[in-house]
Every structure is written in structure tokens, then in C-alpha cells.
Structure 1
Amino acid sequence: YFSGLSLRSASPIHFQQLTASGLRIHLGGQTASYCPENVQQLGACPNTTYTNFIGGNGGLSMGAVVPGGQQVYVDPTCGAVSYTQAHSAAMPANAIIDGWVLTPGGAGSYLSNTNGATIACQNNETNVWDVYLALPGLAVPDSCLGFTIITANETGAAQWQY
């Protein structure tokens, strides 16, 4: 398991946490999560407020305990980095689920995708930066910023479900 942080010097996205909410990956904002009451009563809900992931050797999933997990995918029509709803494998036709690579570095590992560079575009409605891959053939707005993801190792899933 690992969490992610954006690197883009001299920009508003430098050192922003990767967060999950609304079935999308963002920079900044709050992680949206859920844990059922019966699981809470058992004391089995992770006691954290952040987002983490597992994978990076081709595929990528959310750091979630929920049975069946939650898979990260890229919407092929716009490049949005998204994840599946709990208990569902539904995603857009031709969704990109591969290409995720963790590369060891000096301060930590770096997460990238062989299908395109990671970019962040400001979402004025939610006041966060939405994460995309700059896929071949898709236009990237000038206001979006490319960035690098550095990771920090984690010992387990951060949430029951996102």
C-alpha cells in the first residue's frame, strides 16, 4: 500500500495529497469514505482520513478493505483517473486499467502510467484539481499542469471503501 503526493515546483499543486471522492482522483480536498455500521461495531474500520492505493505493477487499486476491492481506471474519452464503485466492476467501455508503474527513487517511489503523463486540471466547482492522464489524441487544456507522483509506503488499506 502507498499514498501519493504531487510534485510540481512553484505551482499551486506542489505537495498536494492524492485524494479520492466522487469516484475520481483529485489533488487536494477531502477523502470521501464509508464504513458500514456493523463493521464499525466490530472495530474493523480503518481509522484514517486519507487515500491510499495498492499495485503499481501494471494495475492499480484503491487501498480499500471492501470485498471485491475498487479498481482504478482511466476514462478513454477524457483521460480522467477514476475508480470503480464498491461491489461493482462497472467502468466505461475501453477503460484503461493497465500501465501503472512504481519506480524506486531516492526519496521514495514514483507512480506513473505508460499510457500518458499525469496532469491536474483545476475544478472551480469543487475547488480541487482533478487528475487525468494526457492520452495520445486528446487535447490538454493550457490551464492544466503536468506533475510527478511520489509515494510513501503504508502498512494497510486506508479506508473500508471510497
Structure 2
Amino acid sequence: MSLTDEALADAGEQLAEVLERRQLTIVTAESCTGGWVAKVLTDRAGSSAYVLAGLVTYSNGAKTELLGVTEPSLNEYGAVSEPVVREMVAGALAATGASVAVAISGVAGPGGGSEDKPVGTVWFAWGSSPRDTEAVVETFRGDRDQVRRQAVLYALQGVRGFLENS
């Protein structure tokens, strides 16, 4: 699946409208997407009204130092896991005071995959508090750029759905 920049911008615009309408703020905690979700959200003029911060925590050390992800979670489950993205959401919320956080950690490829976590495996979490956090895993197909684009779109749409249903 090839997603255009326009498709990502449209999804970002839709999420921005929800954030603005509800007077909410967002923080992103991104690994495999490298800040792309924050980039899409901040492409829009006036985005400082709803984007508080974007944290690219690509390394495990950054996840622990900046977001408070625990070593036991990383050691037992790996960076691409439900416990880690949930901790990323909690840490991003605690660090910024945003209304909602989104976290993404995955294997974009072309290498780095395993039998349990093949290339294209991406964990997402979004929430407004540690107790009110949803997590989901998806497996995308394509090259590194395609996996990342799909992950960005999924994150934007996922947060929008979360907010519209809460």
C-alpha cells in the first residue's frame, strides 16, 4: 500500500480538528516513525495550540531516560511490545501534561525482524492516562518507507477514533 503525503496530511487535519474542537493537546512518543506523526501534525499552521511536544525515542536508552520505560519491560518484552508502548504513553503524558499521547514502536525494516516480530510489526498505544490507554499491534507490508507511512496513518486515525469515542 502506497500512501501519499496528501493522505497523511488529510488524516493529520482530521485529528487536528478534533483536538481543536475539544481544546485538547497531544504529545507524540515515536520510535520507528522518527517523529513523522509530529511532523504531520505540525505541518498545519496554528498547530502550537494543540501539539505540546514530539519525542523521538529511537533507542532503548532514550525510552528509559526520557519516558521512564522500565528496563524489566525492555528486557522481558523488547522495545516492540505492548508493555513498552503503554509505558511510553504514560511517560509522555507525565513529562508534558498533554491531554492525550500516542506512542509507536515497531520494526520498519528492511532488517531487524524476527519470527515473533517480523518486519512490519508495529505496536501503538494512545491514551489520556495510564489507566485509559489502548494498545494495538499491526503488521504492515512493504518497504521501510511504506511501513512507516502506514504506521503514521494508523496512529493519526487511531488517536482520532480514541478521542471521538471518549
Shorter-chain TM-score tier: under 0.3
Question: Which one has a larger percent strand, Structure 1 or Structure 2?
Answer: 1
TM-score between the two structures when normalised by the length of structure 1: 0.27
| Highest RCO, 1 vs 2 (Cα 8 Å, sep ≥ 6) | 1
Based on CA coordinates, which of the two structures has the bigger radius of gyration?
A: 1
TM-score between the two structures when normalised by the length of structure 2: 0.27
Question: Which one has a larger percent helix, Structure 1 or Structure 2?
Answer: 2
